[in-house]
Amino acid sequence: MQYSKVLLIFPEYKNTHFGANHPPAGLGYLSEVLRENNIEHDVVDMRLNPGRSHLMGKIREFKPDLIGISLMTLLYSQNYALLDDIKRDFPRIAIAAGGPHISTFREKALIQCPSLDYGVTLEGEMTLLELCLGKDLETIKGLLYRKGEEVVYTGPRDFIADLDRLPFPSYTKFRIDQYVTDEIPVLSSRGCPYQCIYCPVKTAIGRTFRRRDYLYVVDELEYWYKRGKRRFGFLDDNFMMDRRRIVDICDEIEKRGLTGLHLRCPNGVRADHCDREILGRMKQAGFEYIAFGVEGGNDKVLAAIRKGEKMESIKRAIREACELGFEVALFFIIGSPGETRKDIEDSVHLAQSFPVFDAKFYNLIPFPDTELFQWVQGNGYFLVDPDVYLNDASHWDAKPLFATPELSYAERQSTLKYTSGIRRQIRKRAITQRLRKFGPFSTFLAEIFVNDSIQNALQHNRVLRRISLAAYQCIKR
C-alpha cells in the first residue's frame, strides 16, 4: 500500500522542563525527505498548540492516509493514549511511530499500543520513505508491522554512512517563528562510540560516528543566514569528535563572510577533545556557548560510569573555555553506581571552582537497554517500577528512582535538593557578574532571573525569552 499524504506529529510531552525552544531536528529531516520526494505532507508540533483539539482539527482538515509520530520513552503512555484517541476517531488512517522509544522496545511497543500499525526503528528517513512509496513491507528494513495477530520486525537497517545524501531541514512545514528561541538546530554528525553506562543514544542512533562534510554543514548555516537567522545550536551527541572538521567548519564560516553568528554546543561535548587552540578557533568563528558533559566530580565516579575521561582533562578544558570568554555550562548526574555523598561534594566543588554560567545536576534515570538499567535491576535497587517512572520521572525533580548501599533514598533526595540550590547559587553569581554595571542592583536583578517561576516562563514564553535575550546581549556589549 502506498501513502501519498502524511501528517508528522511531535507530541507536547506534558510536565517536561523545556518548552518548544526550537523545531525538532529529527522530524525536520523526515519532512525534508518527504518534500524532496514530492510526497504531500504537513507537520504538527503539539508543543506550539498544547491539547488534542488542534491536532484533531488538523487531521480532519488535512485528511492524511498516514500519520507519523516521534516517541520518546519518557511519558510514553501519555502518547499511547493520544494514539488511541486518533485511531478511535480516524480508524482508516494508518499510524507509524518512530523515535527512541520504538528503537528501544520494538515489538513490545506495538503489542502495548494496538493503535500502532507500524514502528520505525533507528534512523527513520529511508524506512518512512519506502513505506510511503509502497515497497513490500517484508523488504523494508527497520520496519515493524502487523501480520494478522503477529508483529513482524524486518530487522535493523544499516546506519546511513554518507549523511550528505540526506537533505538538511528547511522546516518549510514548521511554524518556524512561533518557537521560544530564534535558534536553528543543526545536526552535523550522528553516533557516539563511547561506552557510558547510562546513555541510551546507542539504541537510537548507534555507536558508529558519522560526520557530514564541513562544506555541507556551512551550506546549511548559509541557507539560514540568507533568511536572517544568526543563532544556531549544534545538537550532535559528539560534536568535537573530528578536530579537523571543526577547524574546516570555522574556516569556511569566515571564508563565506558569515559574521555576527551566535553558535552554541548545548548538548554537552567531551572535554578530552578540547584544547585552547581548537576552542580559540571556535570562538573566533562565532561559538560562544559550550556545555561539558562532566557527569562526576572525580576519577572514581568517571571510571564507574565508563566515561573514558580523566578529571585532569576536564578541568583543563573548563578552565580554558572560561578564559577564552565562552559561556560555559557543566552537566552532572547524581547517584551513579558507587557514588557517595563525598563524591557528590567533589562535583559541587568542581562546579564552584570556575566562573561557569551554569551547572546542572540531573536526577539519574535508568533507561531501558542501558548497562545502568541492567545493573540497577540485577541488584534489586529499583525503588520505583520502570513502567511507572518512565511515565512520571524527570531529570529535574528530587524523586530518586533507585538507591544503593552508598547512597540511600533519603540521602539521594536531600542531595538532589542540595545541588538544585547549588545551581541557583552558580547562576546567580554568573548573572550578578554580568550585571555588575548596575552596581548594588545587580544582585537583586540576578535573584529575579534565577527565580524558578521566571526560569519556567523563559522556557515557555517566546516574547519574554526574546526580550530577555536582547537585553542580555546589550548588557554583554
pLDDT for residue 65: 97
User: Which of these, 282, 264, 268, 280, lies nearest to 314 by C-alpha position?
Assistant: 268
The grid coordinates listed for 193 are 562510540
Q: What is the pLDDT of residue 468?
A: 63
Residue 315 contacts residue 350 (beta carbons within 8 Å): yes
Res. 458: pLDDT tops 90: no
pLDDT at residue number 467: 64
Cell of 196: 557510558
Which runs of consecutive H residues, i.e. helices, occur in 192-333? 201-204, 214-225, 243-255, 276-285, 299-304, 311-323
Domains and CATH numbers, the chain: 5-153 (3.40.50.2300), 182-427 (3.20.20.70), 435-477 (no CATH)
Percent residues over pLDDT 90 in the chain? 82
Exposure of 378 in the CB half-sphere (CA atoms within 13 A): 9
Find the mean pLDDT for residues 18-46.
Answer: 94
Q: Which of 344, 271, 277, 278 is nearest to 309 (CA)?
A: 271
Distance (Å, rounded) from C-alpha 271 to C-alpha 295? Answer: 11
At residue 460 the predicted structure's pLDDT band, cuts being 50, 70 and 90, is low
Eight-class DSSP state of 138: G
Q: Which has the closest alpha carbon to 21: 216, 266, 227, 257?
A: 266
Instruction: For residues 92 and 162, give the distance between their C-alpha atoms in angstroms, rounded to a whole number.
Output: 37
How do strand 327-334 and strand 358-363 relate by DSSP bridges? parallel
Question: What spatial distance separates the first Cα and last Cα of the chain, rounded to whole Å?
Answer: 59
How far is it, in rounded angstroms, from Cα 150 to Cα 91?
19
How many CB atoms within 10 Å of residue 20? Answer: 22
For residues 371-375, average pLDDT: 96
Cell output for 97: 511511530
Burial class for 96, CB neighbours closer than 10 Å (0-12, 13-18, 19+): buried
Question: Which amino acid makes up residue 403?
Answer: A
pLDDT number for residue 364 = 95
The predicted model gives 452-461 an average pLDDT of: 64
Mean pLDDT rounded to a whole number for the chain? 92
- Please say whether the beta carbons of 47 and 13 come within 8 A: yes
Of 442, 199, 454, which Cα lies nearest the Cα of 305? Answer: 199
pLDDT cut 70: percent of the chain above it: 91
In this structure, are strands 94-98 and 118-120 parallel, antiparallel, or unpaired?
parallel
The whole-number pLDDT of residue 247 equals 97
**pTM of the predicted structure, to 2 decimals:** 0.93
Instruction: Give tens-digit pLDDT for 243-255.
Output: 999 999 999 999 9
> 195-243: per-residue pLDDT in tens?
999 998 877 788 899 999 999 999 999 999 999 999 999 999 999 999 9
Which triple of cell numbers denotes residue 118?
Answer: 507500524
Rounded-to-integer distance, Cα 350 and Cα 423, Å = 12
Q: Which residue has the cell 513490545?
A: 108
Q: Is the CB of residue 331 less than 8 Å from the CB of residue 268?
A: yes
- Hey, is 236 helix, strand or coil? coil
Tell me the C-alpha distance between 383 and 380, whole Å.
9
Section 168-179 average pLDDT? 95
* Cβ 191 vs Cβ 159: under 8 Å: yes
The answer, yes or no, to whether residue 283 has pLDDT greater than 70, is yes
The pLDDT-based confidence of 454 (bands split at 50, 70, 90) is low
- Closest among 334, 342, 386 to 364, alpha carbons compared: 334
Average pLDDT over residues 167-183: 95
In sign, the C-alpha dihedral spanning 249, 271, 193, 372 is negative
**Model confidence at 275, in pLDDT bands (50, 70, 90)?**
very high
At 442, the pLDDT band (50, 70, 90 cuts) reads confident
The cell for 321 is 573555555
Averaged pLDDT, 338-342:
97
* pLDDT computed for residue 95 by the predictor: 98
Confidence of residue 436 (pLDDT cuts 50, 70, 90): confident
The predicted pLDDT at position 435 comes to: 76
Residue 16, pLDDT above cutoff 60: no
C-alpha cell at 372: 545502568
Counting Cα atoms < 13 Å in the Cβ hemisphere of 243 gives 11
Which of 436 and 59 is assigned the larger pLDDT? 59
Between 186-190, 277-281, 398-402, 465-469, the lowest mean confidence (pLDDT) is in 465-469
pLDDT digits (tens, 9 = 90+) for 71-85: 998 889 999 999 999
User: Distance between CA 370 and CA 376 in Å, rounded?
Assistant: 10
Residue 426 is predicted with a pLDDT of 95
| pLDDT at 437 > cutoff 80 | no
Q: Which of 269, 314, 264, 271 has the alpha carbon at shortest distance from 289?
A: 264
- Residue 171 near residue 227, CB atoms below 8 Å: no
Secondary structure letter of residue 37 according to DSSP: T
CA gap 362, 296 in Å, rounded: 11
Q: From its phi and psi, is residue 191 left (phi > 0), alpha (psi between -120 and 50) or beta?
A: left
